[in-house]
Chains A and B, each alone.
Chain A
Amino acid sequence: MMRPMAILRTVCLVAVISPTAWAGSPGPGSSEPELLAVLRSDAAEADKAITCKFLAVNGSPAAVPDLAPLLSNPRLASWARIPLEAIPGPEAAAALRQAASQLEGRLLCGVLTSLGVRHDGAAVSLLAEKLSAEDAEVAACAAWSLGQIATPEATAILAGALDKGSEPARLDAVARAAVLCGTNLLAAGRADDAIGIFASVRAAGVTEQRLAEAIRGTILAQRAAGIPLLVETLRSPTQRLANMAVFIARGLGRGEAADASLAAAVDKALLAEIAKAATDGAVPRAELLIDVVAERNADDASEAVTEALAGLAGAQNAKPLRLAAIEALGHTGNAAVVGPLLVAAADDDSGIADTARSAVAVLEGEAVNQEIAKRLAGADAAVLPALLELVGRRRIDAVAAVLPLVNHADASVRAAALVALGPTVDLGNLEVLVVAATQPKSEAEGGVARTALREASVRMADRDGCASKLAAAVEKAPAELKVMLLDVIGEVGGAKAVQTMAAAARSGDAALEDAATRLLGKWMTADAAPILLELATAEPGGKFKTRALKGYVRIARQFVLPDAERADMCRRALAAATSEADRTAVLEILVRYPSAATLAVAEEAAKTPGLEAEAKKTAHTIRGKMQPGKKAG
């Protein structure tokens, strides 16, 4: 039988163990009597330590008499408290209380803390006594446990201990516990009691951080009645308090504890604060509060909120406020704000205009798309680029209206139309981009068209259809653009793309062969394997034989394949390999995927002159990996 100490040391060496490794030994599956026998023996401390952990799961109150004596042992007390916090029933708590009367210093801290973890109401008077212990660490632990327990008696004790005259660290420990207590009271539905203890904290001359926590607790407990305190705190000159107010304001009435009327009341108060800040010229403050309102209303902004934000986006306001409001509208608005935002999008200030276009781009709803498409029809050259940008960014189905604009007299409109087609054009109209990319009106427009063509091609659902159109274009395209088109076909992928690559790789055109083998070498599906093998083994073979073999080996190494198929690929790769490095790479694949099939390949390879030693080693490693529980040599 393996003893716990030996288990622990084994664990340390291997770092990771499975529960089955403990089967048959004292461990997770051991009975309580077996574990207690270890505690009662002269076993090493390490044995007793791990036994305590197992007792945390398997122990009963019967284990308490054996665990309790360990509480005074500085080396084992922390282990003993693990089961003593976990074992149900009054016995464990009683043992902890008993120990508290006999211990001091850190060991006393430990048992006091455990009583708090157990929410032991019977320990309140004991904890109250320790609250005034000379040892500040002990007093702090007692305070924490009272905050955890949070009974009326514990609450009163903590409130009474919030003495302004205390030494600061002691006062802070009690205040921290009192805030914890208030939070626990609030969670238990005792809002009035929570407000009481938070008030005690706020009146006690505590640190800014503790004051901020108590204010938060008060506002959460008071709900709508707490809004004036929220606003007052937002205005605080104390940074920590104001920060806490912003933190609260972002979520009050929202999220998990959503309350529509509370949320509306908070929004109203915040909008009033924004207006006040704008009037006072406190621009950063207004900006930040706009950000808060935007986050609060990201899912379902009310009319009042969008109206207020639209007002702030108006030209009469300072630029930073307008920018903040415009961005906020993008995240909270709807089709009704498209008009005001498009006005801003035409602003002379490019910062305002850019921000407004971005805001429209992220507005939600089909009605927004319809509004933009409607405006596209009658727009002039000055407005069209912005509208076309929105068509593209929002992927609005307005291809019929955009296609004629590819031939518009204004170059900026033509370029914008090409960009808009990238994310919107369908396969039937892809030819427009092919022509623009291969027969451009200018070099710059050609670049725009090529980017749009790539963008359009890679999103086509009918990949083979798309690849067919592009393959046809390769044949007709000028030499300098053929490789570009092959690159796009490579990104499209699919069966037709593989065929196109195969043809290009055998074309006799060095540039096309280079591009095709490069692309096949990083293909993302395994159907490129046969053509890569063919290219690697063809006689006399081209310039890119080695590259093709490496691509073939990559697929064997990286892709999810049935064992037999992978093994067959490795067999073929070994036969095709002409360098030691390539053969080694194949043997490494065999080791990486140990199976009967890969073992057979390794054993065959061991008969190949020049490969015997390495292949034998490979076969040995595979056999080792195939034997459960045995580490590979």
Chain B
Amino acid sequence: MKRRPSLTSRRGFLKGGLAAGAAVAAPTIIPSSALGLDGAVPPSERIVVGGIGIGRRGEYDLGCFLQQPDVQFAAVCDVKENRRNHLKGVIDKHHGTTACVTYRDFHEILDRNDIDAVLIATGPNWHGLMAMHAAHAGKDIYCEKPCTKNIAETLVHRDTMHRCGTVFQAGTQRRNLPHFAFACELARTGRLGKLTRVYAHPAGMKASTSGWLPEEPAPDAAVDDWDMYLGPAAWRPFNARTLKDGFNFEKGGGLVGGGVLEWGSHCVDLCQWAVDDRPPPVDYAPPKDDQLVCRYDDGVELVFREKGWIPLGSCPVRFEGTAGWVEAGDSGKMVLSSPELLAGRKIEEIGGYPATFHVRDFLDCVKTRGKPKGNADAACNAHLACHAANIAIYLGRPVKLDLETYTFVNDEAANRLRSEARREPWNA
């Protein structure tokens, strides 16, 4: 399969795309750069972005957005007042204005017609549902991973992005790093021969839950909005530790989750790319000897394994075929079974898994309505594999996924774990 052409790598289209004379509200900003008078991108061609739930990881993403000359970050929303205020400071300082607006309720940011896109970096409890709300509001979305909490939400999430015409980019930034892309290309294009196995590093194959910590006096909602923090998660009383740990809260929905979802949404995503973004594996066995083996419908195996990696940094992946193999990791380096696989190509080594290129890919696609690398379909397939693997872990036995219905074959217990009720009043 050929690479999708990207004319925007040469030059950007006007934000207005096809529409002639589309009105765009000018931000209330003063500096000449904001008006495009010093060679900067003028407001009419900027993508106006709002941030929702920008924690530590989100602030890194925010930095990547702010590096882009065609981004105007106009608003931030967070349930925590101190985060809202801190981020407004960061954004205003960057733009040289005081225009960034803060919100506690995400509906207000989604209601703003001048905002084109949102960066969603809440905890994983909110990722899926927040993205669907944003899509319904007509926003394009860059959303951190894991993107969904269970199989049913994953499918609805993908369908919602299609239905709403949303440009969606999962925070799977390794898809826009050259060595990972090359490794996947080797696998996808048959250069490794017939693909036999793809390996992912889960960094922990356990079921997990966020529990119910002892009740503590709840702060004023204007300071920390606990109800909004809980969002779709089943109710529990306020507890400061739970509030602080949004990164892990309700990841995978409670009874299933853990490393397979946390890291799998990256490394399984790369494995999925290596197998040409086909539907996920059908057979999933529980872990044995630090390995969890899944099998695609053509017999290719997806292996979650904890050990045996060449030291190439975090998030390693390995692809094996009948004619060779390749292994790559976050150091930016890869190891090949034969240097011939390089075929004279120079693959840039970019370590540290920066998201800058991924953000740029997203912004380009916002302008062209194209499909970014971490699009909704790709994210869907990778997350389905992670959720199904987690169900095998939770049940402690093999499960088989039907790729027509995305239900488990003759397995009521597994099927009951496909979805989980959201706390009232939230729905998709």
A residues sitting closer than 8 Å to B (CB atoms) are: 5, 8-9, 11-12, 15-20, 28, 45-46, 49-50, 52-53, 56-58, 74-79, 81-82, 84-88, 106-107, 109-110, 113-114, 116-117, 137, 141, 144, 176, 179-180, 183, 207-209, 212-213, 216-217, 234-248, 250, 282, 284-285, 287-291, 294-295, 298-299, 323-324, 327-328, 330-331, 355, 362, 364, 392, 395, 422-424, 455-456, 458-461, 463, 492, 524, 558-560
User: Closest A-chain residue to B427, C-beta based?
Assistant: A113
A549 to chain B, nearest CB (A): 19
B255 touches A114 (CB 8 A): no
A116 touches B427 (CB 8 A): yes
Known contacts A76-B235, A213-B164, A237-B20: does B211 contact A9 (CB below 8 Å)?
Answer: yes
B427 touches A144 (CB 8 A): yes
Q: How far is the CA of A422 from the CA of B422 in the complex (A)?
A: 59
B235 surroundings in chain A (CB, below 8 A)? 74-79
A234 surroundings in chain B (CB, below 8 A)? 18
B423 touches A78 (CB 8 A): yes
Q: Is B94 an interface residue (CB 8 A)?
A: no
A247 to chain B, nearest CB (A): 4
Most A CB contacts (10 A, CB to CB) among B2, B209, B345, B395 go to B2
B163 touches A179 (CB 8 A): yes
Known contacts A74-B235, A85-B419: does B340 contact A459 (CB below 8 Å)?
Answer: yes
Q: Is B213 an interface residue (CB 8 A)?
A: yes
B420 touches A82 (CB 8 A): yes
User: Closest A-chain residue to B138, C-beta based?
Assistant: A209
A45 surroundings in chain B (CB, below 8 A)? 212
A244 surroundings in chain B (CB, below 8 A)? 165
Contact of A245 among B1, B18, B207 (CB under 8 A): B18
A395 touches B344 (CB 8 A): yes
Stretch at the interface among B78-86, B95-103, B291-299, B368-376: B368-376
Q: How far is the CA of A453 from the CA of B196 in the complex (A)?
A: 34
Complex interface residues of chain B between 94 and 128 (CB less than 8 A to chain A): none
A287 touches B13 (CB 8 A): yes
The number of residues on chain B lying at the interface, defined by a beta carbon within 8 Å of a beta carbon of chain A, is: 82
Contact of B236 among A49, A107, A324 (CB under 8 A): A49
A389 to chain B, nearest CB (A): 13
Q: Is B32 an interface residue (CB 8 A)?
A: no
**Cβ contacts A to B, 16 pairs, < 8 Å:** A12-B242, A19-B395, A19-B396, A81-B421, A82-B234, A117-B419, A213-B163, A234-B18, A237-B22, A243-B369, A291-B7, A295-B370, A299-B2, A331-B2, A461-B339, A560-B309
Contact of A458 among B2, B339, B425 (CB under 8 A): B339
Instruction: Contacts A12-B242, A324-B7 known; list 20 others, CB within 8 Å.
Output: A8-B211, A11-B210, A17-B206, A46-B211, A50-B212, A56-B417, A82-B420, A86-B416, A113-B425, A208-B138, A212-B165, A236-B19, A243-B19, A247-B369, A331-B5, A355-B10, A362-B3, A364-B2, A459-B339, A461-B338
A544 to chain B, nearest CB (A): 23
B12-43 Cβ-contact flags toward A at 8 Å (1 or 0): 01101111111000000000000000000000
Q: How far is the CA of A106 from the CA of B423 in the complex (A)?
A: 9
Contact of A16 among B208, B369, B424 (CB under 8 A): B208
A560 touches B1 (CB 8 A): no
Q: How far is the CA of A76 from the CA of B234 in the complex (A)?
A: 8
A208 surroundings in chain B (CB, below 8 A)? 138
Contact of B339 among A19, A114, A294, A463 (CB under 8 A): A463
Q: Is B258 an interface residue (CB 8 A)?
A: yes
Q: How far is the CA of A282 from the CA of B13 in the complex (A)?
A: 12
Q: Is B308 an interface residue (CB 8 A)?
A: yes
User: Closest A-chain residue to B16, C-beta based?
Assistant: A239
User: Closest B-chain residue to A560, C-beta based?
Assistant: B308
Q: Is B191 an interface residue (CB 8 A)?
A: no
A117 touches B5 (CB 8 A): no
User: Closest A-chain residue to B310, C-beta based?
Assistant: A560
Q: How far is the CA of A492 from the CA of B344 in the complex (A)?
A: 13
B238-257 Cβ-contact flags toward A at 8 Å (1 or 0): 00011000001000001100
Q: How far is the CA of A136 from the CA of B248 in the complex (A)?
A: 33
A545 to chain B, nearest CB (A): 24
B159 touches A183 (CB 8 A): yes
User: Closest A-chain residue to B113, C-beta based?
Assistant: A208
A9 touches B213 (CB 8 A): yes
Q: How far is the CA of A364 from the CA of B309 in the complex (A)?
A: 35
Q: Is B288 an interface residue (CB 8 A)?
A: no
Contact of B370 among A8, A79, A237, A250 (CB under 8 A): A250
User: Closest A-chain residue to B245, C-beta based?
Assistant: A15
Q: Is B204 an interface residue (CB 8 A)?
A: yes
Contact of B424 among A84, A107, A285 (CB under 8 A): A107
A423 surroundings in chain B (CB, below 8 A)? 343-345
A110 touches B2 (CB 8 A): no
A109 surroundings in chain B (CB, below 8 A)? 424-425
B212 touches A8 (CB 8 A): yes
Q: How far is the CA of A391 from the CA of B3 in the complex (A)?
A: 21
B136 touches A49 (CB 8 A): no
A238 surroundings in chain B (CB, below 8 A)? 19, 22
B422 touches A113 (CB 8 A): yes
A52 surroundings in chain B (CB, below 8 A)? 234
Q: 3 shortest A-B CB distances, which residue pairs? A: A423-B344, A110-B424, A109-B425
Contact of B421 among A82, A176, A355 (CB under 8 A): A82
User: Closest A-chain residue to B287, C-beta based?
Assistant: A18
A28 touches B371 (CB 8 A): no
B421 touches A559 (CB 8 A): no
Contact of B18 among A17, A288, A294 (CB under 8 A): A288
Q: How far is the CA of A13 from the CA of B165 in the complex (A)?
A: 42
User: Closest B-chain residue to A29, C-beta based?
Assistant: B396
Q: How far is the CA of A144 from the CA of B132 in the complex (A)?
A: 13
User: Closest A-chain residue to B255, C-beta based?
Assistant: A53
User: Closest B-chain residue to A9, C-beta based?
Assistant: B211
B17 surroundings in chain A (CB, below 8 A)? 239, 242-243, 246, 288
Known contacts A16-B206, A250-B369, A455-B346: does B421 contact A84 (CB below 8 Å)?
Answer: yes
Complex interface residues of chain B between 357 and 415 (CB less than 8 A to chain A): 368-371, 393-396, 412-413
B425 touches A243 (CB 8 A): no
Q: How far is the CA of A8 from the CA of B207 in the complex (A)?
A: 13
A323 to chain B, nearest CB (A): 7
Q: How far is the CA of A287 from the CA of B11 in the complex (A)?
A: 11
A283 to chain B, nearest CB (A): 10
B419 touches A239 (CB 8 A): no
B16 surroundings in chain A (CB, below 8 A)? 239
Contact of A294 among B5, B234, B338 (CB under 8 A): B5
A599 to chain B, nearest CB (A): 19
Q: How far is the CA of A564 from the CA of B395 in the complex (A)?
A: 36
Most B CB contacts (10 A, CB to CB) among A88, A180, A235 go to A180
B393 surroundings in chain A (CB, below 8 A)? 19
A197 to chain B, nearest CB (A): 13
A487 to chain B, nearest CB (A): 15
Q: Is B342 an interface residue (CB 8 A)?
A: yes
A458 surroundings in chain B (CB, below 8 A)? 339, 342
Contact of B416 among A57, A76, A298, A455 (CB under 8 A): A57
Q: Is B335 an interface residue (CB 8 A)?
A: yes
B163 surroundings in chain A (CB, below 8 A)? 179-180, 183, 213, 216-217
Q: How far is the CA of A295 from the CA of B237 in the complex (A)?
A: 50
User: Closest B-chain residue to A452, C-beta based?
Assistant: B344
A323 surroundings in chain B (CB, below 8 A)? 10
A12 touches B165 (CB 8 A): no
A88 to chain B, nearest CB (A): 7
A78 touches B424 (CB 8 A): yes
Known contacts A11-B209, A16-B208: does B234 contact A247 (CB below 8 Å)?
Answer: no
User: Closest A-chain residue to B20, C-beta based?
Assistant: A237
User: Closest B-chain residue to A420, C-beta based?
Assistant: B344
A424 surroundings in chain B (CB, below 8 A)? 344
Q: How far is the CA of A208 from the CA of B309 in the complex (A)?
A: 51
Known contacts A117-B419, A244-B165, A331-B5: does B13 contact A77 (CB below 8 Å)?
Answer: no
Q: Is B311 an interface residue (CB 8 A)?
A: yes
A269 to chain B, nearest CB (A): 14
Known contacts A12-B212, A49-B234, A213-B164: does B421 contact A558 (CB below 8 Å)?
Answer: no
